[in-house]
Amino acid sequence: MKKAVELQQLEGYVYEITLSRPESANAFSHALMDDLNVCLDEVEASRDVRCVIIKGIGEKAFCAGADLKERQGMNNQQVIETVHRIGQCIKRVESLEIPTIASINGVAFGGGLELALACDIRIARDDTNMGLTETSLGIIPGAGGTQRLPRLVGIGKAKEMIYSAMRISSKEAANIGLVERVVSASELLEETRGLARLIAKNAPIALKQAKRAIDTGINTDKDTGLCIESLCYQQTIPTEDRLEGLNAFKEKRAPQYKGR
């Protein structure tokens, strides 16, 4: 039986998670969530991963959100439980210690955009659209969208997008800081993989501590954030990687980091 999510290890300590339900626009079915959790288990257990790419299969959709056909047969409680499960899957992505990149290869609506928001960096095709469109269906974003989008683009813009259920182009998304890069469809995969390889060649402990300092500090005042940064910095001092970085710089060669 074909998996709804596939995990591939690329060269250079990069893993790629692919949502693989093109017939349903890569929507969040229970089967997809089952497979996604298995992939995340493997990523969390691996010592050979330093950056993760999340993408959708095909050219139509990154992820269209919840599987509304599957939801039609659910009662109210089942809907609540399913939305909670989607939120937990997305939270697992956000909680990964290593950097993550969303490669937005097609439309990203509802839970699909919420998944992208949980990644550290977003790169999108220049001819696609995205939005939190839930209010047009009589609901609201329920997997983190009302919390992550305002933190990324500001409260006013987030309210405008959520209240209106508007769908914005990837170019507009770049203008408001929702995505970091916009590239052509033919360039998207290599652009994403190239950035992932650039990230993954750096010291893995340093990457984890940098992510921790940013994600933890951003939700505090500046002075507290500076204390968090200092504590995270201190974690890199006793590592072999720090000494390797200094020696490589001195010897004018590329460092060979081991994550120790």
Residue 43 lies in a domain: yes
pLDDT band at 71 (very low <50, low <70, confident <90, very high): confident
CA dist 220 → 144, 227, 235, 246 (Å)? 19, 10, 20, 32
Residues 190 and 212 in one domain: no
**DSSP H or E segment with residue 7:** strand 5-9
pLDDT tens readout for residues 109-148: 999 999 999 999 999 999 999 999 999 999 999 999 999 9
Percent of the chain with pLDDT over 70: 100
Whether 105 shows a pLDDT value over 80: the answer reads yes
The answer to whether residue 48 is domain-embedded is yes
More confident position, 248 or 198 = 198
DSSP letter string, 140-202: ---SSHHHHHHHHH-HHHHHHHHHHT--EEHHHHHHTTS-SEEE-HHHHHHHHHHHHHHHHTS
Please indicate, yes or no, if residue 95 is contained in any of the structural domains: yes
The CATH number for 61's domain is 3.90.226.10
In this structure, are 60 and 36 located in the same domain? yes
The answer to whether 244 and 257 have CB atoms below 8 angstroms apart is yes
- The CB density around residue 38, as the number of other CB atoms within 10 Å, is 13
Q: Looking at the structure, do residues 70 and 142 belong to the same domain, yes or no?
A: yes
φ/ψ region of 26 (left if φ > 0, alpha if ψ in -120 to 50, else beta) reads: left
Cα angle: 129, vertex 133, 135; to 5 degrees: 165
**Are residue 182 and residue 247 in the same domain, yes or no?**
no
34, two tokens: 């089952």
Q: Would 256 be classed as within a structural domain?
A: no
| pLDDT at position 1 over 80 | no
Q: Does 259 map to a domain?
A: no
Catalytic sites, residue numbers: 66, 111, 114, 134
* Residue that wins the pLDDT comparison between 250 and 103: 103
217 and 90 both lie in a single domain: no
Tokens 């933890």 identify what position? 216
Reported for 187-191, long-range contacts at CB under 8 A and 24+ positions apart, including other chains, are 188/103, 188/105, 188/123, 188/124, 188/125, 189/55, 189/103, 189/105, 191/123
Q: Residues 210-218: what's their mean pLDDT?
A: 95
Same domain, 195 and 116: yes
| pLDDT score, position 11 | 87
Compute the average pLDDT of residues 43-62.
94
| Domain-located, residue 260 | no
Amino acid letter, 156: G
257 is a domain residue: no
Check whether 244 has a pLDDT greater than 90.
Answer: no
Q: At a CB cut-off of 8 Å and minimum separation 6, what does 194 contact?
A: none
Question: Are 148 and 222 members of one domain?
Answer: no
Pairwise CA distance, residues 115 & 111, whole Å: 6
| Share of residues in the chain with pLDDT > 90 (%) | 84
- Confidence at residue 9, expressed as pLDDT on a 0 to 100 scale: 94
At 164, the pLDDT band (50, 70, 90 cuts) reads very high
Please state the rounded mean pLDDT for residues 59-64.
92
173 and 221, same domain (yes or no): no
Same domain for 223 and 186? no
| Rg from Cα positions in the chain | 19
Cross-strand bridge partners of residue 124: 104, 182
Q: What is the pTM of this model?
A: 0.93
In a domain, 22, yes or no: yes
Note down the domain range covering 164. Answer: 5-200
Q: Residue 246 has what pLDDT?
A: 87
Count up the domains in the chain and report the number: 2
The SS3 assignment for 125 reads: strand
CATH of the domain at 230: 1.10.12.10
The pLDDT, as a whole number, for residue 123 is 98
* Pair (96, 156) in one structural domain: yes
In this structure, the answer to whether residues 161 and 243 fall within a common structural domain is: no
Residues 230 and 176 in one domain: no
pLDDT tens for 7-43 read 999 988 999 999 999 999 999 999 999 999 999 999 9
Residue 249 clears pLDDT 80, i.e. is over it: yes
The confidence score (pLDDT) of residue 150 equals: 96
